[in-house]
Amino acid sequence: MKGLRLFVTDCIKKDWPNNEKGVFDVPNEIVSSFDYEEIVICGGEPLVFKKNLIRLLQSFFTIGEMTGIKRKVLVETSLCDFWIIDDILKYCDGIICTPKTKDNMAYFKQLNNELLKGNYFRHYEKKDLRLNILPSVKHFFPENLKVWQIQEFPSDEFVSDTAGDYRRIANLWEDDNDWYSLTR
């Protein structure tokens, strides 16, 4: 199978565009297999639950090591917080940033500046860094986006085409404290 968009939380900021238009509907179908070439972890906002996210990414890495089957694992976010992304990029193949608000853009500019610095750019040059640009925030982007693979959307009501199947985990994340009870 080609790709999976894995929905992990329905935590969505109220001020995100299209929040009330059903663009971010939670998928009904629960994932039953991870037999995909590419897995994109999405939601709501998976970075809000950094501990759960890192544990999930570590699980994909461990399964890959045990089976010898490597899958490309990306995390999709609107938050674009450099310090969180710096922590999670150690465990995944890349990030897909889609800033949706002015506040998201402030975080994105810091992220972009840090990635452009020599030490971070060399550290992440083999990572898949994708950027989705929406019309409502297009004018906020800095000029130098050379570290990103850019995709511009004609409308804020976009549907990501980064992976094929759209599934959810059985128990959506609501906090970082219940992870161990879910695994016992």
Q: How confident is the model at residue 24 (pLDDT cuts 50, 70, 90)?
A: low
pLDDT at residue 38, as a whole number: 94
Length of the chain counted residue by residue: 184
Alpha-carbon separation of residue 121 from 54, 73, 76, 118 (angstroms)? 22, 20, 20, 5
CA distance 147 to 95: 12
The per-residue pLDDT of the chain, averaged, comes to 84
For 153-170, what is the mean pLDDT? 80
SS3 letters across 27-43: CCCECCCCCCCEEEEEC
The residue-averaged pLDDT of 30-51 equals: 91
Which pLDDT does position 119 carry in this prediction?
66
Residue 153 has pLDDT above 50, yes or no: yes
120 pLDDT band (50/70/90 cuts)? low
pLDDT single digits (tens) 137-152: 999 999 999 999 999 9
Domains of the chain: 3-182 (3.20.20)
- pTM as predicted: 0.86
